[in-house]
Amino acid sequence: MYEPIPAPISTLYTVDQLYSQINFTVHRYYHLSDEALGQYGYSWRDSNPFTDLNVLHMEILQFDDSSINPTTKTAHFSHGEHWHQYVLNEDISSGFLNKSELKSNLTSIQKMKIAFDLSSIYVSQHTAPKCFLFQIEIMITNDIASGNMPVCMTLKTQQSACHNHTNAEPIVNNCSAKFSRPIAFLRRKFTRIMVIRWR
């Protein structure tokens, strides 16, 4: 396996484009049932349960010219905090910011990172389940303050132990005997969304 490298996606020029990028990222991974991800693709006929989308953490660091140390604002959410209504409304970014009550001037943003994990469980009747973890990061930078913000993405993949895997045991126990062919179940969970380093 090759070492992951940042891949350029696009460039942002306005605040509306920033929100659109966040919304696009969330929807793209939230609706992976319609996408193919190697042998881990699946269709709606596989009776996959509706995915859980959780936001657990957000952080803003604000720098003041009169102080050396930055001011930190954080928002934490429980595992039961579902965001289905924002995904269905296609507006998760503004909904999340309103819920978290983290206010900042987006015109002075220096760096933003959207990071989340994608859990994959491959189930077959004749072999043990195979579990994988995809760690995805979307990075938006404005270090030069040139009026545009390059966007890059990194992806890390690793095999994980299924007994510690999110929702692995319920899926195997409930579904492995129902199908005569190998089935892949994808569970998407946002582990963290961080917004960092405001000037």
Residue that wins the pLDDT comparison between 12 and 157? 157
pLDDT for the residue 43: 46
Give the Cα-Cα-Cα angle 80, 54, 116 (nearest 5 degrees).
150
Distances (CA, A) of 73 to 37, 70, 81, 144: 36, 10, 19, 24
Asked if residue 11 lies in contact with residue 151, where contact means CB atoms within 8 angstroms, the answer is yes
Say yes or no to pLDDT of 133 above 50.
Answer: yes
> 130: part of which helix (H) or strand (E)?
strand 130-141
Indicate whether this model's pTM tops 0.75. no
Residue 175 burial (CB count, 10 A): 17
Res. 126: pLDDT tops 60? yes
Asked if pLDDT for residue 149 goes beyond 70, the answer is yes
Give the pair of three-digit tokens for residue 198. Answer: 């405001």
